[in-house]
């Protein structure tokens, strides 16, 4: 072997000590295979991206987001059993195009109608007022966002919603018992609304709020717990409703917001601070509990309960006199629940318990009877 070529890498030829060179044909075949491999890889990548894009587009077309609803204004998004425009037309027919004869309740941002669907199922349809469109639109979206996140036996079930050019509708399960405030304000109904049923309503609301505050991530604050927003089924089981002013807490934010809620149930700290916390609902729950036991809104009694003179108040001052005097066991249970309610309405937020603690204690009190 020639010394001048010895040690040079990549050399080939018919020289003793060097490897044989590949033929031109072999080199071309090798290059062709490399090009083919790269081409197939690129083609596979393009196909994958293309199919993914088609799938995402199709999925969005089939299941529009809330933003899509806002843009077209005429889509009905089915959460469970309802079918778009067909359902919308059924609702119009079932309510006589929202005739007052089918109206079963009115609130600040909408009216509720009873509608019997073609399937035979009866639903409650909340139609938002058009007078303050922007405010109602925010309430509408708040309610949809909250109720599509949560499922609990003591929270009203949202079947679906309709964002139409003429009507914004929320379709709920229909609860035969109506609102809690109606049961308390009607003497005949209130007398049948006995102590056991009232305790069960308090327990149900406590469970719902505990779920919203402690089992949902991020937590949800209702902000308008009041007797008009508690619905009852045929067995007097309570369901929390009307999530128009609810707020999904941002754990990385201070959660400042505009004042919302019903006068008489608002936590006192909201008068000087617009910071929303779970303790706002705790206060409202305390007021509601006092109202259920007394049979009417406690009013100025709340201020009296926070003063040192509370010891001078007797249990009978806090009971609904339309009902028979509770038994000794029931009196003990009611007293224990009232003690919790008084802590809930304390002006000091640090003294108020969490809804988880309230829910657990009420369950224990009931089980001890």
The tokens for 270 are: 């909201």
Instruction: List, as one string, the DSSP characters of 23-42.
Output: PHHHHHHHHHHHHHHHHHHH
- The conformation of residue 232, written as its DSSP 8-state character, comes to E
Nearest 10 degrees: CA dihedral of 318, 323, 327, 329?
-50
Catalytic, out of 139, 224, 242, 320: 224
Q: Tell me if 248 sits within 8 A of 277, measured CB to CB.
A: no
Catalytic (active site) residue 224? yes
Show Cβ contacts of residue 59 under 8 Å, excluding neighbours closer than 6 positions. none
Q: How far apart are CA 27 and CA 29, in angstroms?
A: 5
Q: Tell me if 197 sits within 8 A of 180, measured CB to CB.
A: no
Q: Tell me if 90 sits within 8 A of 118, measured CB to CB.
A: yes
Q: Which of 224-258 are b and which e, b meaning 16 or more Cβ less than 10 Å from the residue's Cβ?
A: bbbbbbbbbbeebbbbbbbbbbbbbbeeeeebeee
Q: Tell me if 175 sits within 8 A of 233, measured CB to CB.
A: yes
Q: Tell me if 229 sits within 8 A of 112, measured CB to CB.
A: no
Return the HEC string of 273-302. Answer: CCECCHHHHHHHHHHHHHHHHHCCCCCCHH
Q: Tell me if 181 sits within 8 A of 227, measured CB to CB.
A: yes
- The conformation of residue 212, written as its DSSP 8-state character, comes to I
- Residues designated as active site: 224
């Amino acid at each position: 072997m020639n010394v001048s070529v010895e040690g040079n890498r990549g050399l080939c030829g018919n020289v003793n000590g060097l490897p044989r060179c590949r033929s031109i044909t072999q080199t071309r075949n090798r290059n062709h295979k490399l090009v083919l491999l790269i081409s197939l890889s690129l083609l596979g990548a393009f196909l994958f991206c293309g199919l993914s894009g088609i799938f995402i587009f199709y999925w969005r077309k089939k299941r529009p987001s809330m933003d899509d609803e806002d843009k077209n204004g005429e889509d009905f998004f089915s959460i469970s059993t309802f079918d778009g425009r067909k359902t919308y037309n059924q609702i119009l027919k079932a309510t006589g195009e929202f005739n007052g004869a089918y109206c079963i309740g009115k609130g600040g941002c909408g009216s509720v109608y009873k509608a019997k669907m073609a399937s035979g199922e009866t639903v409650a349809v909340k139609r938002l007022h058009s007078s303050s469109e922007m405010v109602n639109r925010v309430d509408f979206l708040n309610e949809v966002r909250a109720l599509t996140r949560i499922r609990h036996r003591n929270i009203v079930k949202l079947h679906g919603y309709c964002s139409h050019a003429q009507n914004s509708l929320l379709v709920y399960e229909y609860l035969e018992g109506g609102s809690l405030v109606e049961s308390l304000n009607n003497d005949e109904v209130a007398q049948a609304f006995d102590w056991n049923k009232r305790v069960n309503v308090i327990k149900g609301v406590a469970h719902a709020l505990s779920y919203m505050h402690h089992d949902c991530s991020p937590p949800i604050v209702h902000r308008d717990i009041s007797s008009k927003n508690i619905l009852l089924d045929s067995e007097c089981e309570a369901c929390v409703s009307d999530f128009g002013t609810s707020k999904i807490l941002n754990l990385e934010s201070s959660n400042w917001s505009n004042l919302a809620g019903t006068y008489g149930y608002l936590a006192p700290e909201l008068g000087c601070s617009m910071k929303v916390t779970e303790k706002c609902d705790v206060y409202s729950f305390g007021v509601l509990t006092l109202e259920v036991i007394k049979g009417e809104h406690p009013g100025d009694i709340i201020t009296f309960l926070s003063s040192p003179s509370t010891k001078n108040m007797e249990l009978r001052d806090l009971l609904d006199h339309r009902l028979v005097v509770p038994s000794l066991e029931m009196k003990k249970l009611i007293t224990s629940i009232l003690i919790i309610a008084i802590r809930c309405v304390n002006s000091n937020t640090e003294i108020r318990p969490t809804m988880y603690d309230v829910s657990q204690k009420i369950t224990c009190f009931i089980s001890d009877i």
